[in-house]
C-alpha cells in the first residue's frame, strides 16, 4: 500500500478523511482507502496528504482470533503480526449420511453428539486462552464456519465480549489449524483499496 501511494504524497489534488475512509483525488485518478481497523483522523486537505493514513496502517493492534469448523478449532492472540498465544485442536465429526432408515437416525444422533462435544471443547479452550488477554484485546477476528462460531459463542456466556469486539469481516478458512492461524495477519492487516480513473485522464 505504501509503495503504491507514497509517490503521490504532496502532489496536487484533494484528500478527505471521514467515516473511516481516506479519499484521494488527483488529476489522474480517485482513490479510496479503508484501513482494516478504522481511522480516527478526520480532515480535508487541498493536496495529497497521506501521513495520517500511513500512521493508521502501521499501528499494531492486539487481536484475538477464534476459528471454528466442525472437525477443529484454533484460538490465538496476535500482538501486531506476531502470534503470542494459541491453542488448536481437532475432533472427529462424521460427515453426512446418504442412506435413510433407522441407521441414518443413529448416524445423525452420533454426529450431533460429536458436534456438540467439539463446540463445548472449542468454547472452553477459547475462554482459557483469551480471558487473560480480555482487557487488552482491541479487536476479535472470527472465522471458519458461521454456524459453528455462533454455536460456540452461544454455548458459553463468558465469550459474549468476543462478539462485541468482532471485526465486520468474517474470515472463512477451510481448516482451522495452526498454519491458518499464522497466516491470518496477512488478511487482518490488509486495507481495502478502490481506484477509479478520472474522466479524461490517460
| Helices 102-130 and 146-155: angle between axes, nearest 10 degrees | 70
- Is pTM, for the whole model, over 0.85? no
Helix (H, G, I), strand (E, B) or coil at 67: strand
> What pLDDT, on the 0 to 100 scale, is given for residue 98?
52
End-to-end alpha-carbon separation of the chain, Å? 22
The list of the chain residues with pLDDT below 70 reads: 91-104, 107, 111, 199-202
Three-state DSSP state, 183: helix
pLDDT of residue 92: 60
Amino acid at each position: 500500500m505504501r509503495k503504491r501511494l507514497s509517490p503521490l504524497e504532496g502532489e496536487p489534488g484533494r484528500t478527505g478523511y471521514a467515516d473511516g475512509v481516506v479519499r484521494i483525488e488527483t488529476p489522474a485518478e480517485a482513490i479510496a482507502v479503508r484501513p482494516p481497523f478504522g481511522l480516527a483522523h478526520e480532515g480535508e486537505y487541498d493536496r495529497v496528504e497521506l501521513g495520517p493514513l500511513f500512521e493508521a496502517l502501521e499501528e499494531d493492534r492486539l487481536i484475538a482470533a477464534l476459528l471454528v469448523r466442525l472437525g477443529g478449532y484454533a484460538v490465538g492472540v496476535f500482538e501486531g503480526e506476531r502470534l503470542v498465544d494459541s491453542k488448536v485442536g481437532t475432533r472427529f465429526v462424521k460427515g453426512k449420511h446418504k442412506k435413510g432408515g433407522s441407521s441414518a437416525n443413529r448416524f445423525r444422533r452420533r454426529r450431533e453428539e460429536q458436534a456438540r462435544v467439539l463446540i463445548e471443547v472449542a468454547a472452553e479452550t477459547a475462554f482459557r486462552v483469551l480471558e487473560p488477554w480480555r482487557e487488552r484485546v482491541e479487536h476479535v477476528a472470527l472465522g471458519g464456519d458461521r454456524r459453528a462460531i455462533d454455536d460456540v459463542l452461544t454455548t458459553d456466556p463468558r465469550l459474549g465480549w468476543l462478539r462485541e469486539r468482532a471485526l465486520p469481516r468474517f474470515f472463512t478458512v477451510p481448516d482451522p489449524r495452526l498454519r491458518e492461524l499464522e497466516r491470518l495477519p496477512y488478511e487482518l492487516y490488509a486495507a481495502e483499496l478502490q481506484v477509479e480513473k478520472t474522466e479524461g485522464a490517460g
